[in-house]
Structures are given as C-alpha cells and as structure tokens.
Structure 1
Amino acid sequence: MAPPLTTVAVRRGKPVLVGPAKPTPREVKTLSDLDDQEGMRFYSAGIHLYRGDPAKAGQDPAKVIRAAIAEALVYYYPLAGRLREEAGRKLVVDCNGQGLMFVEADADVTVDDFGDVQGPPFPCFEQFVFDLAPGEDERVIDRPLLYLQVTRLACGGFVFGQWFSHCVTDAPGGMQFEKAIGEMARGAAAPSVAPVWAREFFSARSPPRPTHVHLEYEPSAGGPDRLMAVPRSEMVRERFFFGPKEIAALRKRAPPHLRASSSRFELITSCIWRSRTAALGYGPDEEVRVSFIVNARGRSSIPVPPGYYGNAYAFSVASSTAEKLTGSPIGYALELVKKAKANVTYEYLQSVADLMVLRGRPLFTVARTYIVSDISHAGFKDVDFGWGEAVYGGPAKGGEGPILGVANYYSRYKNDKGEEGTAVPVCLPLAAMERFRSEVQNLTKEPAFDPYEQHVANFNT
C-alpha cells in the first residue's frame, strides 16, 4: 500500500444550509449543565472514509447524504437551530430550523492513497472537513451546530467530514445522529433509535449542592506547568502499541488482587501516566494528574435514557506527587485510576452540574494533567450511508486536546504482525519522548520475576 498522503488538493463547492425536510417545532430548548461548561464550548472534528461500491454506480454520495440529512433533521430538529447565551452563561438552543452547513467537494485521490490509516490524525484532515477560519472552532454562539463536507474521490469512494458543536452532543450522541442519517440514506422511514432531549437529567439541583471534590476543576499544586511553554515546533508525536503481550506484562506487574479485575484501559492509563510523569522530569513534590472521560451510558447506576444524545460523561481525576508515582510499582497508579473511575456515579454527575452553576462553568484543569479518552469502542466505523462500513472512522485531529501534549485518544489498532491491540498517540518534547519510550518498554516487557512480590520483600527488609 502507498505511503499516506502528505498533500492533496480538494475542490470545494459553495456551502449551503440544509434544514429539516418538513416543518419542525419552533421552540427554545435548554442545554444541561454538563453541556454548557467552558470545556465543551468548541467544535470537534471527525472523519469517515468509504470505498466505492460498484452497485452504487451513478449515485452521488454527496446528493444522497444531503437529502438524508434533511430527513434526519426532522427528528433531530434542535441540531438545525442556533445557540444563545442567557443569564449566568446558560446556553439554550433556539430551534429555528435554519439548518446545518453542508458543502460538496472533489479530490483526485483514491482510498488507497490514504495508506493504512487506523487512528488520528487523518492524513491531510484539514482538506476533508469544512474550511473553518482560524479560531472559528471555538466560537459557538449563533452559528450552525454542525458543518459537514462530503468529498468525492477518484475511485468512487468518498470522505464524510464533520465539525459538531460539543455543547450539544458528545461523540456517542454524534454517532447516533450520523447513524440516523445513514439509515435515512438507506431508505428507512425513521431512525431506529428515537432521539431523546431530556437535558434536565444532567441539570443542576435547586439549590445547587456539590457533594464531591472535583479536582478536575481545581488548580494543581506546584505552579505553572513547564510543558505549556514548549513551542509546537519542538514537540514530536509517536504512536505506542499495546497488544496482548504488552497487556499481559502490565497485568503481571499489578498487585495480585488487581490482576483479574483491571481492564485494558486501566492498565494502559496507569502505564502512560507513570511513564509520562517520569519522562517530563517533574519535581518530587509537584502534583501530577491523569484525567479520563467516563461515559455514563451503559452504567446500571446511571440510567441514561435510550436515545439521549447530549453530553453524558464526566472527567474523573487521579492525583499523586511525582515522586510517589514514579517511585512506586505500577500497582500504585492502578489503584488510583480504578478508584477515580469508580467514583463516577449519577450523584457525581449531578455534583458536577451543581458546581458548574456555582462556579460560572469553569474550564477543566490541564496543568500537569494527562487527559485521555478511550474511543476504541465508540463504533465510528459502523456509520453506513449505503456504501458499507467505513475504512476509517474516528477523530480527524491527533487528539492533542486544547493544549498540545495534554490529551490523547485510545483507538483500536492492528500492527504489522497482524496483532489486534490499542494505539496510544503521544505528543511530547523530543528528549522527553526518548525517556518515555524507555519507560514504557520497561513496563511492558515480560518480568523475570513477580515484581510485586519483590517489592514487598524489599519493603520488609
């Protein structure tokens, strides 16, 4: 297969607004207090890549998808509206039917020209999503809630690129809408999953009464983070693969009572957090954190209504001093990660909503914090517009988050040996990357003896 694209010329047509195919209610809908916090006030970019289908010869995917969008918006009509900000920085959706922004495009490349793309960043992604002006992805008031681009390829395939307002929907909610478009494109009369607004489910109580400590919105101890001052030009990216062998090694390094109960996500997150802290050389008493997204969907203790497409997750935080984290076996980090993950209950989410109202909807803390989101089970590739499963489906960007080097996505990946595993793209200064690589290699190689038993023996002596 050819190496991935480094440059491509895309010819975009004239953008148009696509509204609902039928009249929809004219009303104002309030977002939840999880939706409208500062950290959600941006547009997130995603990409789906599809091969051509000989059975679809003569059908224009851009025309098919545009018509399906109009049909889907009849059910998801708030997405055709505009955001307004009211007292207390509260966001509401004016359901005015103005529509989302759509543009057709063409590119003289084929699906194979993209190479074996399995995770973000998507090659030349800027060309395959709507051309937003610099900074436009951070302005959400009185603008279309989605910007969609369908780019026809020379081979008959196409790219579906989108920007969606994170205030209104999270990744699972966005996939729900895109799957509804796909169903309409394939001839369905209505989406198989009826959309549910129900934003009051994650709204603050009256009066607001936070019941948890939310480190994710508190400044970390130790002053400014030196990483924030590193120029973008000095940062390097590298993808790390965690397959069966790496996971088995990490599990052996965990305390015996946690080995069976620890998930792949918990093991990888503990490894990355510990290794990254060591690589960046923080002072021994500086506070370091890992913050990860915990999805409320599918958790029996949080009965999220089926069809809910708003933000339904919380940031949970594990914290330690750098010296304690890097000087302890990986089981120490693992214990902290598991505890933080278990903390996310419906009461915890309500507490976050209460805090947002009392604190003016603050931004989550990023100083000396590694933020991670596991998208390996999000189902991005399952969106089918009639041309089958996507070759690639997922975030468009590299997952570096609002501050370079702070955040990343975990995604499914198959290495050159054909092994299935998890890919973690990491962004660090060059010198730190070299040490990080060494730390990860040491933690993921087969231990010669049980490291936990050896640690206990050393402690007793």
Structure 2
Amino acid sequence: MNTLPILPPPMPNYRLQHANIDISLDQIKQVKTEFHDSTGQMCSTFEAVAATFWKFRTLAVNFEPNTEVKLVFFANCRQLLDPPLPEGFYGNCFFPVTITASSETLAQASNVEVIKLIQEAKGNLPVEYSKYMKGDSMKNGEDPFAPPLIYTTLFISEWGRLGFNQVDYGWGPPVHIVPIQGSSIIPVGIVGIIAIARERHPVDDMVC
C-alpha cells in the first residue's frame, strides 16, 4: 500500500517589518578607530557596520542567554577558483561565510571583539571553500549555502558598491533605496550608501 510522503512543516511567518537605520561616516570612523587603537590592525567599513548591526540587533531582540545566533554574509571567492575565471567574466562569484556565537557572548562583546570574529571567519574562507569543493562539508549534513531558516540567523548583504546611488533615473540619483522583503523568516540587513546633498557636495552615509 502506497503512503503519501510526509509534508514538510509549515514555514513560520514572523511578520518582519522594514526598518531604516542611518549610520553616519563619523560613527563608522569611530568604530574603525577603536579597532585600530585596540589591535593595531585595520578593519573594513563592512566589518564595522556588520559587527555593530549584529551585536545591537541581538541586544534589541533580547534572546535567552544560551541562544545560538548566526551571522551570514557572502564573500568574494574569485581568487580561490582553480582554474581561474576567464578574463572579462562579469557575474557573481561568492561563498557564504557563517559565524556562530551565543547571544550572551555577543551581547557582552565589544565592537572590537565582534569584528575579530568576522575577520577570523573571512580568513578561514579558503579552508571552508576547499572543504565544500571536496564535498567534506556535506558529509556532516551541513550545506553552507543553506543556512538555518530561523529568526536567530541574521543575513547581511552589502549593496554599497553596486552603484545604485549613482544611477540617474531621469530626474537625478535616487533619494533612498529600499529592497523588497525577500523572506518572512530570516532577518536581512541590506548595507548601502546613499548620497545626501549638502551644500552641493554629496556626503555618503551607510544605510541598513
């Protein structure tokens, strides 16, 4: 007697809402200066914004202390391909970076410590990419391209270099850029740059 396959559980709907968070260059410079003064090393604007966003989002949600939270973002992996991409290739070539921490650890960490977590994960990209290409990462049932579809996962995507703020739509550059909500489950942070006219000189601010 044939039986019907078991249906997957229904997908939750957290009714996520759009929220715009303006982060000025002065705030970003302050975080980057703090990191340099503490470590003697440099950090990128994305690392500073992602660390701040992840930490304070965790604080705002107020998870239970032992809750496992994840930060996921895509990193360029063109330099890891063998054979290399052909000259003139234009398109995406990325690998997901996933960072896991307890909500309590993240909430108590400084910006410097969270940035270190991000840099360590990025530094481990060649190893994780190699494991994936060999099929080793799939042996444990873990697919880096399929992060857990749960509220504790924060996905961040960087749009600052896509040039949306430089496009003339017929009446000038955009005043604001708002992405279409693609998931009702995983919170997604879009990091972009908008030009704010100030005495005829554009000032770039980060927007999440």
TM-score over 0.5 for the pair: yes
The aligned counterpart of 1:278 is: 59
3-state DSSP of counterpart to 2:63: coil
C-alpha distance in structure 2 between counterparts of 1:398 and 1:321, whole Å: 29
The aligned counterpart of 2:8 is: none
Matched length: 187
Superposition pairs of residues 78-93 of structure 1, within 5 angstroms: none
User: Among 61, 75, 78, which residue is 1:294 paired with?
Assistant: 75
Superposition pairs of residues 66-215 of structure 1, within 5 angstroms: none
- Quick check: 1:291–1:370 contact (8 Å CA) kept in 2? yes
C-alpha distance in structure 2 between counterparts of 1:317 and 1:423, whole Å: 22
Asked whether 1:242 is paired with 2:23, we answer yes
Q: 1:383 to 1:304 in 2, by over 3 A?
A: farther
Q: 1:416 to 1:274 in 2, by over 3 A?
A: farther
- Quick check: 1:375–1:409 contact (8 Å CA) kept in 2? yes
Q: 1:413 to 1:328 in 2, by over 3 A?
A: same
The aligned counterpart of 1:334 is: 115
Q: 1:352 to 1:370 in 2, by over 3 A?
A: same
The aligned counterpart of 1:373 is: 157
Q: Deviations over 1:194-242 (max 9, x none)?
A: xxxxxxxxxxxxxxxxxxxxxxxxxxxxxxxxxx553x2xx43221222
Asked whether 1:305 is paired with 2:89, we answer no
Q: Percent sequence identity over matched residues?
A: 19
**Structure 1 residue 371: deviation in Å?**
0.6
The aligned counterpart of 1:151 is: none
TM-score normalised per structure 1: 0.35
Asked whether 1:351 is paired with 2:131, we answer yes
Q: Letter of the aligned partner of 2:118 in structure 1?
A: V
Q: Letter of the aligned partner of 1:371 in structure 2?
A: F
Q: Deviations over 1:370-394 (max 9, x none)?
A: 111112113457789xx99x845xx
Q: Letter of the aligned partner of 1:274 in structure 2?
A: K
C-alpha distance in structure 2 between counterparts of 1:309 and 1:279, whole Å: 39
Runs of 4+ in 1 over 4 A off after TM superposition: 355-362, 380-384
C-alpha distance in structure 2 between counterparts of 1:383 and 1:357, whole Å: 41
C-alpha distance in structure 2 between counterparts of 1:294 and 1:377, whole Å: 13
TM-score normalised per structure 2: 0.72
- Quick check: 1:296–1:304 contact (8 Å CA) kept in 2? no
The aligned counterpart of 2:9 is: none
Q: Letter of the aligned partner of 1:292 in structure 2?
A: F
Larger radius of gyration: 1
**Structure 1 residue 260: deviation in Å?**
4.6
Q: Deviations over 1:260-279 (max 9, x none)?
A: 51111000000000000001
Q: Letter of the aligned partner of 1:306 in structure 2?
A: E
**Structure 1 residue 332: deviation in Å?**
1.5
The aligned counterpart of 1:407 is: 188
Q: Letter of the aligned partner of 2:147 in structure 1?
A: F
C-alpha distance in structure 2 between counterparts of 1:421 and 1:260, whole Å: 24
3-state DSSP of counterpart to 2:17: strand
Q: Letter of the aligned partner of 1:414 in structure 2?
A: A
